[in-house]
Structure 1
Amino acid sequence: MGELYALDFDGVICDSCGESSLSALKAAKVRWPVLFDGVDSTIEDWIVDQMHTVRPVVETGYENLLLVRLLLETRTPSIRKSSVGKIPIPHFLSLITMQPRLEGLAVEGILESWSTLKPIIMEEWGENREALIDLFGKVRDEWLEQDFAAWIGANRIYPGVSDALKFASSKVFIVTTKQSRFADALLRELAGVTIPSERIYGLGTGPKVEILKQLQKRPEHQGLTLHFVEDRLATLKNVIKEPELDKWNLYLGNWGYNTAQEKEEAAAIPRIRVLQLSDFSKKLK
């Protein structure tokens, strides 16, 4: 008998919001250079700051690029080139044609309606998911190669997690939508931990529910108590929908990228335990 932990990375092990926001800003300038003509550091700083607020909606890294552009158009409505009227959109998106005094309302709208908004703006802007993923990865790679210390420094491992990983008696797997090479670099450099590559399931390895199914089916994992720690409530709800995954103990990390409303909702779901950071570190040890 023993314990197996499947851990999300961003928002559970690593606070990467600073790095992902700056990388997204760099990538957005490459993807939409005309929109950033005349955009000064004050506006850029505001965008990065607001990215911390809207970060809970992000499932996969490329979405950060979309958020950067949307926030830019919220802050500077005059740059918006396309016609909103061609596509039915949630009411709050019309805020980006109004005055900056409504910025807060637009950010609130993003938090409430991102799943509806994302495909709409992808279509309106003529964007391709795979192309944005490739661009985001390329920009990160370039930053990592050109200034490794600055790239690493824009991330932080949550307090206590490094030691918990180093001394974990449980079998630990990383299950993330982050590209594996970035998760590996951060584990090595910030946490001082080396996790074998076959235990890191990153972007492109399949949906998390399918990875959990694979892990529980392995002969060497039979009899282990299964734990999945995630900071996205939507992901945990997807697990609950799969009867095959009933054996997994589910945890919402309340230190990660989720809202007060999501924490409250999770607390009302019997299958999910809302976990404190200190309790998480103790459980891993």
Structure 2
Amino acid sequence: MRRPAILALDLDGVLVDGMEEYWTSSLHVAQGFGAPWISSNGEIPPAFRRIRPWVHTGWEMVVVAWALAHGAAEETFLQDYHAALRQWQRKLGQSSAVLQDALERHRSDCLLSDPRGWLARHRPYPGVVERLRRCRHGGVDWVVITTKGQEFATALLEQGGLQPTAVYGREDGPKIRVLRRLLEQRQPVWFVEDRLPTLEQVTADHQLGGVGCYLAAWGYLRHADRQQLHPPARWLDHATFCAPFHTWPT
């Protein structure tokens, strides 16, 4: 039967929807750097939802929250995300490392002081937990590769009763490096990710030719991602993800 030896999965946007936590944590940190208070009545601003698919690592969300609190136009990020990110980071006046450290410290504080509340801001996507439990019964090891800190990723997985073979957080380096190590262990490796630029980096790497790449249709996608997706990366809808491996596109 056609199946992977190792199924590698992104966390945010593939296994878990954490949009509520992204916004509340990012805004809290942004306010610590002088962002004005804004009232959203507990709602996540639609602009933040639409910009979130462009984000690669956590510190960028702090810049986005800081910018939106200062009245930044959503379109400036959607038209040229990286230029807008650089512009607003200069206005904020903090390095990426400082912003990431502040976000990590805030998350650690939340996890320590109110673990139930912090975890409740994340929701597993429907069917994901059951699908991954079937992996073990089918002899497929599954691992998580995320830009989130390992501490937080592990806590989220444990909340859902999930026990991957391994969790690779931002401390383990770029996803490409982790995938190379996995290929050295066992093959084939299948990788499910909701960020198209990451999949493009994987498919362009000659050392990763043995990795099957899938774009998660239910994740945080940009409008044109499906049209810009090219083989060998494949589109993976939610129903197929939950189905037996032999039904996955090749």
What is the TM-score with the length of structure 1 in the denominator?
0.79
Larger Rg: 1
Quickly say closer, same or farther: Cα 1:131–1:68, change in 2 above 3 A.
same
Question: Which residue of structure 1 aligns with residue 200 of structure 2?
Answer: 237
Summarize deviations over 1:40-86 as a string: whole Å, max 9, x none.
424x7566442212110111111110000111122xxxxxxxxxxxx
**Which segments of 5 or more consecutive residues in structure 1 lack a partner in the other structure?**
75-95, 97-105
Question: Which residue of structure 2 aligns with residue 61 of structure 1?
Answer: 58
Runs of at least 4 residues of structure 1 off by over 3 A?
44-49
3-state SS of paired residue (1:260):
coil
Contact 1:13 1:158 in 2 (8 A): yes
3-state SS of paired residue (2:142):
strand
Aligned length, in residue pairs = 241
3-state SS of paired residue (1:227):
strand
**Which segments of 5 or more consecutive residues in structure 2 lack a partner in the other structure?**
none
1:179 & 1:119 partners in 2: Cα distance?
A: 23
Q: CA deviation at 1:167?
A: 2.1
Contact 1:56 1:111 in 2 (8 A): no
* Correspondences of 1:5-16 after superposition (within 5 Å): 5-16=7-18
Question: Which residue of structure 1 aligns with residue 237 of structure 2?
Answer: 276
Quickly say closer, same or farther: Cα 1:40–1:9, change in 2 above 3 A.
closer
Q: What is the CA RMSD across the aligned residues, in angstroms?
A: 2.0
Question: Which residue of structure 2 aligns with residue 24 of structure 1?
Answer: 26
Q: CA deviation at 1:161?
A: 0.4
* Correspondences of 1:121-140 after superposition (within 5 Å): 121-140=88-107
Q: 1:150 aligns with which of 117, 121, 124?
A: 117
3-state SS of paired residue (2:84):
helix
Question: Which residue of structure 1 aligns with residue 217 of structure 2?
Answer: 254
Q: CA deviation at 1:111?
A: 2.3
Quickly say closer, same or farther: Cα 1:108–1:176, change in 2 above 3 A.
same
Question: Which residue of structure 1 aligns with residue 163 of structure 2?
Answer: 194
1:49 & 1:68 partners in 2: Cα distance?
A: 12
2:226 & 2:242 partners in 1: Cα distance?
A: 19
Question: Which residue of structure 1 aligns with residue 84 of structure 2?
Answer: 117
> Amino acid of the residue matched to residue 123 of structure 1?
R
Of Structure 1 and Structure 2, which has the larger fraction of its residues in helix?
A: 1
Q: CA deviation at 1:256?
A: 0.3
Contact 1:6 1:175 in 2 (8 A): yes
